[in-house]
């Protein structure tokens, strides 16, 4: 049985902690905030409640595997329900596309109907082109600790490729709406498609095949409660309000994690925060940058707000995303508005310019700039900024250069998308192994 200290109480850290505790290790989790959850959680004010981070997940098998491998199956704790459609996209020419998930045929029909006959086939052919990349990367990168010696030639070629997303999308699509659709996830994650590897288009493939899923009572609030419950069940020692300062290593590996509340002895350490925050690892990621989170405005609205889809994406020179599935009472509604790109004005005003004017209905609001979010969370929830193919080498993988120190969370693997974060914890459990 090893003494394992997990640094960071977001999804990557909690998932690592409960998996390792189930494997028989003595696990302590350190989190600088007053509660676990990290970027997943809730914001509450004046009777309104909003998901602080993602409102759904694709590839639900990742969460199901986490709960099955750490205790009771997820189905016995809470029910994941499918979202339909995934989201509605609105384009500058006035066209609207309600994009379904979980079906190639449904997407083909929806794109044809909304954008024009023949464009549906272009879209689904583009998405299907990521089936083979997903299969290779799943086997060699996402579901097994990276080993160049064991990886297939095709996987190594993908990771070395100079082909960026913008180039592929521009070549395949003449229609500007399809181009915007194809780079949506990259832009939403804070990346420039000119610097994002083309293979990350596989996110669209995963949504098309597996759909998107949430919890009926709210994704963030439900998942955080389940995570806290699982930590208690696995008897993980949880130290909230405690900041990890660095990893202390000896000749054979870590000996302790130094915190602002004292030193924690450790045989193994899992870092599930931005490694730049720990001097022992910072030098190894000096050439990477964090991806900036969006500008966020949580709105509490009086009765009378227009009915919108659960998630609405408005494309222009900038991108506005509106999420409407938050908690409120007495006919009021809770929205979250996310801003990306060159939007330089208040998000509520920007929304009004798109003919969704709720300025007179705002009862309360919580505004968070990208800097606010990074300072609150102690790092970017979006992980490492893609700066071309070199980012693959410059960021850290599951196994770090420090013996016995491992990485989980948004700053490794595929980035800050929920399924990718969950998979990093599974990789950590593979590497550390049973007690």
Which pLDDT score, from 0 to 100, does residue 327 have? Answer: 75
Answer yes or no: is pLDDT of 246 > 90: yes
Answer yes or no: is pLDDT of 41 > 90: no
Write the DSSP symbol of residue 117.
T
Answer yes or no: is pLDDT of 100 > 90: yes
Spatial CA neighbour of 363 closest among 298, 299, 297, 296:
299
Average of per-residue pLDDT values in the chain: 95
**Percentage of the chain surpassing pLDDT 90?**
93
Q: How confident is the model at residue 344 (pLDDT cuts 50, 70, 90)?
A: confident
Which pLDDT score, from 0 to 100, does residue 43 have? Answer: 92
**Percentage of the chain surpassing pLDDT 70?**
100
Answer yes or no: is pLDDT of 217 > 90: no
Q: How confident is the model at residue 182 (pLDDT cuts 50, 70, 90)?
A: very high
Q: How confident is the model at residue 298 (pLDDT cuts 50, 70, 90)?
A: very high
Which pLDDT score, from 0 to 100, does residue 141 have? Answer: 94
Instruction: For residues 134-153, give the mean pLDDT.
Output: 94
CB burial readout 319-345, b (16+ within 10 A) else e: bbbbbbbbbbeeebbbbbbbbbeebee
Query: How many Å apart are CA 378 and CA 277, to the nearest integer?
Result: 8
Which pLDDT score, from 0 to 100, does residue 7 have? Answer: 98
Kindly report which listed range (36-45, 64-73, 162-171, 271-280) carries the lowest average pLDDT score. Answer: 36-45
Instruction: For residues 203-216, give the mean pLDDT.
Output: 95
Q: Calculate ∠ Cα 275-276-280, nearest 5°.
A: 75
Instruction: Judge contact between 367 and 252, C-beta under 8 A.
Output: no
44: enclosing H helix or E strand: strand 42-45
Q: How confident is the model at residue 191 (pLDDT cuts 50, 70, 90)?
A: very high
Answer yes or no: is pLDDT of 245 > 90: yes
Instruction: For residues 207-225, give the mean pLDDT.
Output: 93
Spatial CA neighbour of 275 closest among 386, 396, 120, 142:
396
Instruction: For residues 309-320, give the mean pLDDT.
Output: 95
Token couple for 125: 């052919």
Query: How many Å apart are CA 197 and CA 199, to the nearest integer?
Result: 5
Superfamily (CATH) of domain 3-81+216-289+380-432: FAD/NAD(P)-binding domain (3.50.50.60)
Instruction: For residues 382-392, give the mean pLDDT.
Output: 93
The label of the residue with tokens 């989201």 reads 87
Q: How confident is the model at residue 27 (pLDDT cuts 50, 70, 90)?
A: very high
Which pLDDT score, from 0 to 100, does residue 343 have? Answer: 80
Q: How confident is the model at residue 331 (pLDDT cuts 50, 70, 90)?
A: confident
Whole-number Cα distances in Å, 323 to 5, 56, 64, 148, 333: 36, 11, 25, 41, 11
Q: How confident is the model at residue 207 (pLDDT cuts 50, 70, 90)?
A: very high
**3-class DSSP state for residue 102?**
coil
Instruction: For residues 121-132, give the mean pLDDT.
Output: 98
Spatial CB neighbours of 103, under 8 Å, sequence gap ≥ 6:
208
Spatial CB neighbours of 337, under 8 Å, sequence gap ≥ 6:
296, 297, 299, 320, 321, 322, 347, 348, 351
Answer yes or no: is pLDDT of 58 > 80: yes
**3-class DSSP state for residue 107?**
helix
Instruction: For residues 79-102, give the mean pLDDT.
Output: 96
Answer yes or no: is pLDDT of 328 > 90: no
Q: How confident is the model at residue 325 (pLDDT cuts 50, 70, 90)?
A: confident
Token couple for 216: 């009926």
309: enclosing H helix or E strand: none
């Amino acid at each position: 049985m090893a003494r394992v200290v997990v640094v960071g109480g977001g999804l990557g850290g909690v998932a690592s902690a409960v998996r390792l505790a189930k494997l028989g290790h003595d696990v302590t989790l350190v989190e600088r905030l007053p509660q676990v959850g990290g970027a997943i959680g809730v914001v509450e004010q004046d009777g309104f409640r909003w998901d602080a981070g993602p409102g759904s997940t694709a590839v639900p098998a990742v969460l199901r595997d986490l709960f099955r491998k750490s205790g009771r199956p997820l189905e016995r704790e809470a029910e994941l329900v499918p979202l339909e459609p995934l989201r509605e996209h609105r384009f500058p020419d006035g066209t609207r596309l309600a994009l379904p998930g979980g079906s190639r045929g449904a997407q083909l029909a929806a794109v044809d109907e909304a954008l024009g006959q023949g464009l549906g086939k272009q879209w689904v052919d583009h998405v299907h082109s990521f089936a083979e990349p997903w299969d290779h990367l799943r086997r060699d990168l996402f579901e097994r600790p990276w080993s160049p010696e064991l990886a297939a030639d095709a996987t190594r070629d993908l990771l070395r490729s100079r082909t960026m997303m913008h180039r592929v999308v521009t070549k395949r699509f003449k229609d500007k709406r399809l181009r915007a659709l194809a780079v949506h996830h990259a832009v939403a994650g804070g990346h420039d498609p000119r610097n994002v590897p083309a293979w990350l288009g596989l996110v669209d493939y995963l949504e098309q095949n597996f759909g998107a899923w949430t919890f009926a009572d709210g994704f963030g609030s439900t998942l955080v409660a389940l995570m806290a419950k699982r930590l208690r069940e696995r008897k993980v020692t949880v130290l909230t309000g405690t900041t990890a300062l660095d990893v202390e290593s000896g000749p054979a590996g870590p000996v302790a994690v130094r915190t602002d509340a004292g030193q924690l002895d450790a045989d193994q350490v899992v870092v599930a925060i931005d490694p730049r925050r720990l001097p022992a690892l910072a030098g190894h990621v000096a050439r990477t940058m964090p991806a900036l989170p969006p500008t966020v405005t949580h709105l509490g609205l009086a009765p009378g707000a227009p009915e919108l889809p659960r998630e609405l994406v408005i494309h222009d020179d900038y991108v506005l995303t509106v999420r409407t599935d938050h908690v409120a009472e007495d006919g009021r509604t809770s929205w979250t508005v996310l801003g990306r790109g060159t939007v330089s004005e208040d998000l509520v005003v920007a929304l009004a310019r798109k003919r969704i004017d709720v300025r007179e209905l705002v009862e309360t609001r919580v505004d968070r700039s990208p800097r606010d979010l990074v300072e609150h969370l102690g790092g970017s929830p979006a992980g490492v900024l893609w700066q071309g193919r070199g980012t693959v080498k410059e960021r850290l993988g599951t196994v770090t250069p420090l013996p016995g120190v491992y990485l989980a969370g948004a700053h490794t693997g595929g980035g800050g998308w929920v399924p990718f974060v969950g998979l990093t914890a599974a990789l950590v459990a593979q590497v550390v192994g049973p007690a």
